[in-house]
Amino acid sequence: MPDRENRPLVYGLRLGVWYATLFIAGSLTIVLLTYFATSALLAQRDRQIIDSKLGTYAAAYASGGLDGLTEVVRAEQLTAPERLFVRVRDWRGVQAIVLSQFQGWDEGSLETGEIRLPDGTLLQVGKSTDLRDDVLARFRAALGLVTLSIFIIALTGGALATQSAQAPIRKLIAAVERISRTGRTDERVPLVEKRDAIDELSALFNQMLDRIEGLVAGMRGALDNVSHDLRTPMTRLRGSAELALAGPADLDRYREALADCVEEADRVLVMLTTLMDISEAESGAIELHREMMPLFAIVERAVDLYRDTAEAKGVTLESHVDDSVVASIDRLRLEQVAANLLDNAIKYTPAGGRVDISVAREGGQAVLRIRDSGIGIPATELPRIWERLFRGDQSRTERGLGLGLSLVKAIVEAHGGSVNVESTPGQGSIFTINLQLTS
């Protein structure tokens, strides 16, 4: 897989090139801006000097004429650090007055300014740009060095950035590859605790592994349970048949054995059908035949079904219904839900206890509640009762497959509702179903 191995390198290289380009572009912009700002500042300074001199000289000319001006200029030439060229032109031609080392008025190397005096004379002041050009030339030379340093820093920085950007990605890739190669879902990607995007990705990956691990464990557990739970009826089925065959031919014994076999086979079928129903409901593949139904109709039917069972066990069964509560439901599926919950409530409530089933509207929702005064559910078992094939420790003596509540939850959730339980061991349980109200 050379292609895949090269991918982080390409990514890192791209990052490094980006980093270096941005750094160089940014730095060069700053350097060039500084250069042009300095150049403009120097030019502006020259202009200010020229303007102020023009003012001074014009005043000197006004008070002392050309002689007065010459005197002022000469005096200045002795002390002033910056040599200025001064030229006075009358309307006839050019007349220059004294300037040190003046070799001629070369506009190319001078920054000049002029003012027309009241008598028509043109007063011109020139300032040599040599000094300025010299400063800027040095600046440019320094810029060469700075630019070179910028390139070196950018390329080293880019290379380092490439390295450091690649390192965590390489680690992540190595860990993911190790996990996918070994198939060990208990391995985790190490976190660097830098709280950066790579760490976040690693944490998410670990979370995903946690979930996969949980699901795989759940599936494995369910499969183990199914195999285990199928073994019992299958063994009994085989036992009955074997026993019947072992003895002498006897039609009555055969009949009895076959009846046992049918019973056991039914048990297996119910279990498999329920498991498939749960899977269908959980995956959303279940087809719900929804209709607007008052929930009390569901409750009444379930109560009718279980009245005799409750009576036989000595459990009081009562219903309390608000007949205006209507919801869009699959009648048969919801009857299955109510029947399962009622069956459990009666099954896990000793003689003398009571079971109440009610329908009400609460907080804008349709609520179906089944409350019993039975054995209750220990806190340790509460989160597990919705699992397929889970059976409570105290429930082993009762008949059951451990699939009722899984089916209840799957059907209710397929309806867009929710199911909750509150329970106190020794005092009883309350199962509550919330559904969308439609009236």
Region of 183 on the Ramachandran plot (φ > 0 left; ψ -120 to 50 alpha; else beta) = left
Min dist. Cβ of residue 336 to ligand ADP (A): 12
Tell whether residue 233 is a contact of ligand ADP (CB under 6 A): no
Tell whether residue 429 is a contact of ligand ADP (CB under 6 A): yes
> Please, are residues 117 and 62 in contact by the beta-carbon 8 Å criterion?
yes
Tell whether residue 372 is a contact of ligand ADP (CB under 6 A): yes
Tell whether residue 375 is a contact of ligand ADP (CB under 6 A): yes
Tell me phi and psi for residue 95, to 5 degrees: -140, 115
Tell whether residue 434 is a contact of ligand ADP (CB under 6 A): no
Tell me phi and psi for residue 37, to 5 degrees: -65, -40
Q: Which of 158, 233, 392, 417 binds ligand ADP (CB under 6 A)?
A: 392
Q: Which of 113, 395, 411, 435 binds ligand ADP (CB under 6 A)?
A: 395
Binding to ligand ADP, residues 403-422 (CB under 6 A): 403-406
Min dist. Cβ of residue 381 to ligand ADP (A): 6
- The Cα 204–Cα 224 span in angstroms is 30
Min dist. Cβ of residue 382 to ligand ADP (A): 9
Given the rule CB under 6 A, which of 146-154, 214-222, 323-331, 384-392 is the region that contacts ligand ADP? 384-392
Tell whether residue 402 is a contact of ligand ADP (CB under 6 A): yes
- The Cα 303–Cα 124 span in angstroms is 117
Applying CB under 6 A, what is the total number of residues that bind ligand ADP? 21
Q: Which of 348, 358, 411, 433 binds ligand ADP (CB under 6 A)?
A: 348
Tell whether residue 229 is a contact of ligand ADP (CB under 6 A): no
> Please, are residues 359 and 321 in contact by the beta-carbon 8 Å criterion?
yes
Of residues 389, 392, 399, the one with CA closest to residue 421: 392
Number of residue whose CB is nearest ligand ADP: 392
Tell whether residue 385 is a contact of ligand ADP (CB under 6 A): yes
Helix (H) or strand (E) holding 435: strand 428-436
> Please, are residues 338 and 377 in contact by the beta-carbon 8 Å criterion?
no
Query: DSSP labels for 121-174?
Result: PEEEEEEE-HHHHHHHHHHHHHHHHHHHHHHHHHHHHHHHHHHHHHHHHHHHHH
Given the rule CB under 6 A, which of 47-55, 149-157, 160-168, 373-381 is the region that contacts ligand ADP? 373-381
Tell whether residue 344 is a contact of ligand ADP (CB under 6 A): yes
> Please, are residues 364 and 435 in contact by the beta-carbon 8 Å criterion?
no
Given the rule CB under 6 A, which of 246-254, 270-278, 328-336, 368-376 is the region that contacts ligand ADP? 368-376
Environment class of residue 224 by beta-carbon count within 10 Å: exposed (0-12), middle (13-18) or buried (19+)?
A: exposed
> Please, are residues 143 and 31 in contact by the beta-carbon 8 Å criterion?
yes
Q: Which of 338, 366, 377, 412 binds ligand ADP (CB under 6 A)?
A: 377
Min dist. Cβ of residue 403 to ligand ADP (A): 6
Min dist. Cβ of residue 355 to ligand ADP (A): 8
Region of 65 on the Ramachandran plot (φ > 0 left; ψ -120 to 50 alpha; else beta) = left
Given the rule CB under 6 A, which of 224-232, 244-252, 323-331, 343-351 is the region that contacts ligand ADP? 343-351
> Please, are residues 307 and 317 in contact by the beta-carbon 8 Å criterion?
yes
Given the rule CB under 6 A, which of 122-130, 192-200, 266-274, 393-401 is the region that contacts ligand ADP? 393-401
> Please, are residues 336 and 305 in contact by the beta-carbon 8 Å criterion?
no
Tell whether residue 68 is a contact of ligand ADP (CB under 6 A): no
Min dist. Cβ of residue 270 to ligand ADP (A): 11
Min dist. Cβ of residue 231 to ligand ADP (A): 17
Strand order in the sheet with 316-321: 316-321, 354-362, 365-372, 428-436, 418-424
DSSP bridge pairs for 34: none
Cα R_g (the chain), whole angstroms = 49
Tell whether residue 87 is a contact of ligand ADP (CB under 6 A): no
Tell whether residue 225 is a contact of ligand ADP (CB under 6 A): no
Tell whether residue 353 is a contact of ligand ADP (CB under 6 A): no
| Interface with ligand ADP (CB under 6 A) | 344-345, 348, 372, 374-377, 385, 390-392, 395, 400-406, 429
